[in-house]
Amino acid sequence: MTSGSKALLGCAILALVALAAASALAQHQGHEQHTTTPPSSGTGGATQSAAGSRKVTMEELHRSGGVPPGWKFALPGGDAAKGRQVFADLECYKCHAIQGESFPATGGDAKNAGPALTGMGGQHPSEYFAESILAPNAVILDGPGYTGPDGKSIMPSFADSLSVTQLVDLVAFLKSLTAGGHHMHSAAPEKTVGDYTVRLDYRGGDAHEGHAGHTTTTASGHLMVFVADRATGEPVPYLPVSATIRAAGKPARSVKLSPMVGGQGFHYGVNVALPAGAHTVTLTIGAVTIQAMASAKGRFAKPVTVVFERGA
């Protein structure tokens, strides 16, 4: 990348930060987009106001390292229809196929074609798409369609080709591509309840066919529950967490989850086999088992229940 491109990339990123500052959201993630509920009084932290803005004192800003507690950069929302036009104008379709779209046939070199984008919108957060467009070598996926002979990404940088508005619109278009894709895992469901943001994830335990072609219970996988403070986005430890698993025609099963750390970060987890097909996982989160400081008075003390529906 030339020094001029690097300078333009830096300017684009600074402009994005300035544009998004008023709408920066508490960390949760994930990809993707939930309504933020104002924290209850007495939290001692930043408060949520209209239009997703957050109010914070200068003292709180300095105390938390120059950003609000739990702050995470969030790309502003864009116009997907305008982003589709940007995609067409840049001729991105020559490298990236999208099923169901009426872009011209590529007719290009298959060896240098990038990955198909069908269904990709549900697999990555907006910020990942933005980084890939501005700085494709920041994260390099090793394999055909991703890297060239030099080991670098075959994706060119568009840092000097797009305005900030075009970038957010293009990302909005990519985020709208949620149909017809089967890439990686589906986005983990997340809900806000009480003082918490709760995310459920399950890894492993693929369904398999039993006798006479009937789908049987999945093999044992790892059930993970991520519990975060809805006001700050920080993980909340020392909570009793249990799950009740229900499926039609089968007895309900209850399991206790333990605090764990791993590649996915801190979570409450248990190795368990979930039923194939439609079923529900009901989580019960008890009151925190350690002393809460005065700034958290009245919080984390009420048990909550949240139900996740899985399968189809």
pLDDT in tens, the chain (312 residues): 544 544 444 555 445 544 444 343 333 333 333 333 334 444 444 455 445 677 888 888 888 888 887 787 888 889 999 999 999 999 999 888 888 888 887 655 656 678 889 888 878 889 999 999 999 999 988 766 688 888 888 889 999 999 999 999 999 999 999 876 544 444 567 888 999 999 998 887 544 434 444 444 446 789 999 999 988 888 999 999 999 999 998 999 999 999 999 888 899 999 999 888 889 999 999 999 998 888 888 899 999 999 998 765
CA neighbours closer than 13 Å in the CB half-sphere of residue 7:
3
Phi first, then psi: give them for residue 15, nearest 5 degrees.
-65, -40
CA distances from 284 to 9, 255, 294, 305 (A): 46, 11, 25, 5
> pTM for this one?
0.51
Q: Tell me the sheet residues that pair with 308.
A: 281
Phi first, then psi: give them for residue 5, nearest 5 degrees.
-65, -40
Angle between helices 164-175 and 126-134 (to 10 degrees): 130
Q: Is the sign of the CA dihedral 202, 208, 210, 215 positive or negative?
A: positive
Give residue 119's pLDDT.
Answer: 85
Give residue 193's pLDDT.
Answer: 92
Taken in order of first residue, the domains within the chain and their CATH numbers are 1-24+73-184 (1.10.760.10), 190-310 (2.60.40.2480)
Reduced to 3 states (helix: H, G, I; strand: E, B; else coil), residue 139 is: coil
- Residues with Cβ within 8 Å of 110's Cβ and at least 6 positions away in sequence, in order, are none
Give residue 27's pLDDT.
Answer: 36
Give residue 107's pLDDT.
Answer: 58
